Amino acid sequence: MYIEMKDINKTFDGFHASQDVSFGIEKGHLAALLGPSGSGKTTILRMIAGLDIPDSGDILIEDKRVNDIPGSKRGIGFVFQNYALFRYMTVADNIAFGLEIQKKSKKEIRERVDELLELISMKDLGKRYPHQLSGGQRQRVAFARALAPNPHLLLLDEPFAAIDAKVRRELRSWLKEMIGRVGVTSIFVTHDQEEAMEVADTIIVTNQGRVEQIGSPEEICRHPATSFVQDFIDRERYEALRIKKQ
């Protein structure tokens, strides 16, 4: 297992955000944390990133316990729900930010920024500011910024929540393709089962701070492990999606 969560517990002011959470994700996989709002999926993501610290349990990345390693040293790229682009920096400066901290040479930085701008098809927009971009473009910049320092693991918090429905579908397949091309292990949080089924190859269903089931979209839909999963997952939608894909 590349990422492993072992018996993680976390409470906020008496609210049990994570209860005995355990699961693992293999290298190169694209996993979705799926659950209703308040089910604790974002908390799990933030604990992997080191933005929150679990009360008990172990977080392992490549068999190494990372609980006490600060998030910035875990080799993780994070795409925030509302992107948190630095508003007063250009697109290029946003992407270069992480590279500057690594004290890369000017030339190296420029090359990497150009490469990423190319990847997100925004080659000529490096000098723009975030306010001059569309929602979809902002999301792509946030993606490029997180990828710039070559992370081993990419975490995305509700990456499509802030995008209007029309663009969302387009962006989903774009993101799946990009992640496949870069080959980085990724976990994203979503409350939209269609999104999870379409994009992810592994789904972790959460409810009330617990992991209900982990498996491929097919397993989750055809063989729900708990009554919650059975109620929550709309099997017909899954079958319809499969037919559409074929």
Partner 1 sequence: MQQGIGIVKRKNPHGVRVIPGFGLTFGVSVTMLACLVLIPLASIVWSAGRLSFSEFIQVVTSRQIMSGYQVSLSCAFWAALVNVIFGIILAWVLVRYEFPGKRILDGMIELPFALPTAVAGIALTTLYSDQGWVGALFAKAGIKIAYTKAGITIAMIFVGIPFVVRSVQPVLEKLDRGYEEAAMMLGAGRIRTFFKVILPELYPAALAGFGLAFARGIGEYGSVVFIAGNIPFKTQIAPLLIMSKLEQFKYADATAIAVVLLIISFLLMLLINSIQIYMQRFHEGGENGASLKKIVEPYQKDSHRPLKGVLIAAAVIFMVVMMVLPLLLVLSSALKEGWDAYVRAVLDEYTIKALKLTVLATGSAVVVNTIFGIFAAVLISKYYFPGRQLLAALIDIPFSISPVIAGLVFSLTFGNLGWMGGFLQAHNIKIVFAVPGVLLATIFVTFPFVFRELLPVLQAQGKDEEEAAALMGAGKWKIFSRITFPHMRWALLYGIVLCTARAMGEFGAVSVISGHLRGVTNTLPLHVEILYNEFNTVAAFAVSSLLVIMAVILLILRSVIVAVGSKNV
Q: What distance in Å separates the CA atoms of residue 138 and residue 206, rounded to the nearest whole number?
A: 28
CB 157 within 8 A of CB 198: no
Nearer to partner 1 by C-beta: 38 or 57? 38
21 contributes a contact to partner 1 by CB under 8 A: no
Classified as helix, coil or strand, 110 is helix
Stretch that binds partner 1, among 19-27, 81-89, 195-203, 226-234 (CB under 8 A): 81-89
Query: Binding residue for partner 1 (CB under 8 A) from 138, 140, 168, 172?
Result: 138
CB 200 within 8 A of CB 28: no
Stretch that binds partner 1, among 56-64, 74-82, 199-207, 235-243 (CB under 8 A): 74-82
Q: What distance in Å separates the CA atoms of residue 78 and residue 37, rounded to the nearest whole number?
A: 20
Classified as helix, coil or strand, 117 is helix
Q: Would you state the structure tokens that stand for residue 162, as one six-digit string?
A: 């802030």
How many other CB atoms are found less than 10 A from the CB of residue 63? 8
240 contributes a contact to partner 1 by CB under 8 A: no
Q: What distance in Å separates the CA atoms of residue 152 and residue 186, rounded to the nearest whole number?
A: 9
Longest distance between any two alpha carbons in the chain, whole Å: 56
How many other CB atoms are found less than 10 A from the CB of residue 105? 9
216 contributes a contact to partner 1 by CB under 8 A: no
Min dist CB 183 to partner 1, Å, is 20
Query: Binding residue for partner 1 (CB under 8 A) from 52, 195, 198, 212?
Result: 52
CA-angle at 161, arms to 38 and 51, nearest 5°: 55
Nearer to partner 1 by C-beta: 125 or 241? 125
83 contributes a contact to partner 1 by CB under 8 A: yes
Nearer to partner 1 by C-beta: 29 or 128? 128
Nearer to partner 1 by C-beta: 153 or 229? 153
Query: Binding residue for partner 1 (CB under 8 A) from 35, 54, 77, 209?
Result: 77
Give the footprint of partner 1 on this chain (CB under 8 A).
Answer: 12, 15, 17, 42-43, 49, 51-52, 71-73, 76-78, 80-89, 97-98, 101-102, 129-133, 135, 138, 145-146, 148-149, 158, 161-163
